[in-house]
Amino acid sequence: MSKKAIVSLLVLSMVAVACATDTAEEEVAVEEEHDHSDESTLEMVLERGFVKCGVSGSATAFSETGADGSITGFDADYCYAVAAALFGDYSKVEFKSLTSAERFTSLAAGDIDVLIRNTTWTQSRDTELGNDFGPTTYFDGQQLMGRNSDGISSSSTLADIDGLSVCTNAGTTTEKNITEGAGLVGATITLVTVEKFSEAMDKFIAGECDIVTTDGSALVGRRAVNDALNDWSIFPQSPISKEPLGPVYRSNDSMWGDVINWVVYATIIADEYGVTSANVDSVDTDAFPELGRLFGANDGELQTVMGLDAKAFYNVIKQVGNYDEIYSRNLNPVGLFREGGANDRWTNGGLIYAPPAR
Ligand SMILES: N[C@@H](CCC(=O)N[C@@H](CS)C(=O)NCC(=O)O)C(=O)O
């Protein structure tokens, strides 16, 4: 057996030609010549000098591509945060824009080092597909959007979509949830599945679909940047699913996984202490020893055993910010707020929580 063993990975893939009629995700065996298990992604990325981060590139407020090709948003900021931790320079990222249907194939093939793309943690993605999931950065849930002028309102229910056409993108939890959910309430729908969510929005705007559905955050974002703001309602008030979104990396790559996980945790711990990019230089690390360890200021820092610089997480907070800064900067402008929701701090009753830096 050669050193570069041929490994077969089960990955999710959409068969493009079959999309129009069969929207089920399909398992295909992909033969991949590079066996990632004999080399940590961490070593490979450090040697290369930049990280390859898979994003959407067209998800409002999460990863948007600017006119100059730059990528901004909540997910993009976590890519920048990983680069800040690895290289002390947030800009050492190469983004790859991926559709929902191609994201896991791209990760399995080694085209990207980490996937941060509105991706829901599910059992099959975590187990059958050879992925591992990092901490949830955004607790989302699937909702639907329709036109008030068609009789839809924010108090509409799933049963109200009986007889309507519903647009969404392929290779998502969304298409499965809506099919299952509509069936459970006895609503007969025409599901129209396209490759990109932006195409689903185009069809909705053109009146070719009555309803569009995806993660609630994306619907809020799309509505906020659209002129038809006042005619579009998002429903039902309680989402039809849980969509915990966060970073994804290949299985059996624990040093790399630890880096991704602790980048996220560092942003959360800094938020717990109110440490921001603006005040990180004036932290009293004697008074707050956990911050001393996390920022490499005191003896007992834990970053070097992870293969990182002692200042890795200081650089994350200094250059990109804490969780609240990342959230507020990207998501408040489209009308998504943390207060009182699942994405609030655990100390306020939310779910954003990190283990201790010790
Ligand atoms: N969270 C779901 C849905 C992901 C998804 O496709 N989201 C849409 C809405 S944010 C999207 O990616 N839109 C951007 C695009 O199509 O490029 C999943 O993991 O399957």
Closest-lying ligand 1 atom to the alpha carbon of residue 200: 16
Q: What is the pLDDT of residues 199-251, one digit of tens each?
A: 999 999 999 999 999 999 999 999 999 877 789 999 999 999 999 999 999 99
The pLDDT of residue 30 is above 60: no
Q: Is the domain of 292 the same as that of 338?
A: yes
Residues 233/156, Cβ–Cβ less than 8 Å: yes
What pLDDT does 92 receive? Answer: 98
Segment 188-195 mean pLDDT: 98
Q: Is the domain of 195 the same as that of 147?
A: yes
Domain stop point among 238, 273, 296: 238
Q: Is the domain of 268 the same as that of 327?
A: yes
The pLDDT of residue 29 is above 90: no
Q: Is the domain of 224 the same as that of 167?
A: yes
Q: Is the domain of 234 the same as that of 272?
A: no
The pLDDT of residue 3 is above 50: no
CATH number reported for the structural domain that contains residue 173 in this entry = 3.40.190.10
Give me the residues paired with residue 54 across strands.
96, 115
126-160: string of b/e by CB count within 10 Å (b at 16+)? eeebbbbbbbbbbbbbbbbbbeeeeebeeebebeb
| Structure-block tokens of residue 167 | 């647009």
- Separation between Cα atoms, residue 289 and residue 328, nearest integer Å: 27
Domain stop point among 181, 205, 238: 238
Q: Is the domain of 264 the same as that of 344?
A: yes
Q: How far is the CA of 6 from the centre of ligand 1 (A)?
A: 31
Q: In degrees rounded to 5, what are phi and psi of residue 180?
A: -65, -45
Q: Is the domain of 149 the same as that of 211?
A: yes
Q: Is the domain of 210 the same as that of 264?
A: no
Q: Is residue 205 a part of any domain in this protein? A: yes
Q: What is the pLDDT of residues 304-346, one digit of tens each?
A: 999 999 999 999 999 999 999 999 999 999 999 999 999 999 9
Q: Is residue 172 a part of any domain in this protein? A: yes
Q: Is the domain of 208 the same as that of 293?
A: no
Residues 324/85, Cβ–Cβ less than 8 Å: no
What pLDDT does 86 receive? Answer: 98
Q: How far is the CA of 255 from the centre of ligand 1 (A)?
A: 28
Closest-lying ligand 1 atom to the alpha carbon of residue 196: 16
Q: Is residue 304 a part of any domain in this protein? A: yes
- Separation between Cα atoms, residue 323 and residue 351, nearest integer Å: 13
The pLDDT of residue 8 is above 80: no
Neighbours of 183 (CB within 10 A): 11
What pLDDT does 24 receive? Answer: 36
First to last CA, the chain: 42
What pLDDT does 227 receive? Answer: 77
The pLDDT of residue 178 is above 70: yes
Closest-lying ligand 1 atom to the alpha carbon of residue 99: 17
Q: Is the domain of 229 the same as that of 295?
A: no
Segment 134-151 mean pLDDT: 98
Segment 143-162 mean pLDDT: 97
Q: What is the mean pLDDT of the chain?
A: 90
Q: How far is the CA of 308 from the centre of ligand 1 (A)?
A: 32
> Of 136, 61, 134, which is closest to residue 346 (Cα–Cα)?
136
Q: Which has the minimum average pLDDT: 19-33, 155-169, 203-217?
A: 19-33
Give me the residues paired with residue 233 across strands.
146
Q: How far is the CA of 172 from the centre of ligand 1 (A)?
A: 7
Question: Which residues span the domain enclosing 199?
Answer: 143-238
Q: Using only C-alpha atoms, what is the Rg of the chain?
A: 21
Q: Is residue 215 a part of any domain in this protein? A: yes
Q: Is residue 341 a part of any domain in this protein? A: yes
Q: Is the domain of 284 the same as that of 223?
A: no
Task: Tell which phi-psi region holds residue 187, choosing left (phi > 0), alpha (psi between -120 and 50) or beta.
Answer: beta
Q: What is the pLDDT of residues 276-314, one digit of tens each?
A: 999 999 999 999 999 999 999 988 899 999 999 999 999
Domain stop point among 203, 238, 273: 238
What pLDDT does 38 receive? Answer: 55
Instruction: Give the residue, by CA position, lying nearest to ligand 1 atom 3.
Output: 172
CA distance readout (Å), 270 to 58, 85, 310, 321, 353: 29, 14, 16, 9, 11
Q: Is residue 353 a part of any domain in this protein? A: no
Q: Ligand 1: list residues with CB < 6 Å.
A: 56, 58-59, 100, 118-120, 169, 172-174, 196-198, 214-215, 218, 243, 245
Q: Is residue 135 a part of any domain in this protein? A: no
Q: Is residue 110 a part of any domain in this protein? A: no
Q: How far is the CA of 226 from the centre of ligand 1 (A)?
A: 18
The pLDDT of residue 26 is above 60: no
Q: How far is the CA of 118 from the centre of ligand 1 (A)?
A: 6
Domain total in the chain:
2
Residues 161/182, Cβ–Cβ less than 8 Å: yes
What pLDDT does 299 receive? Answer: 84
pTM: 0.89
Q: Is the domain of 225 the same as that of 279?
A: no
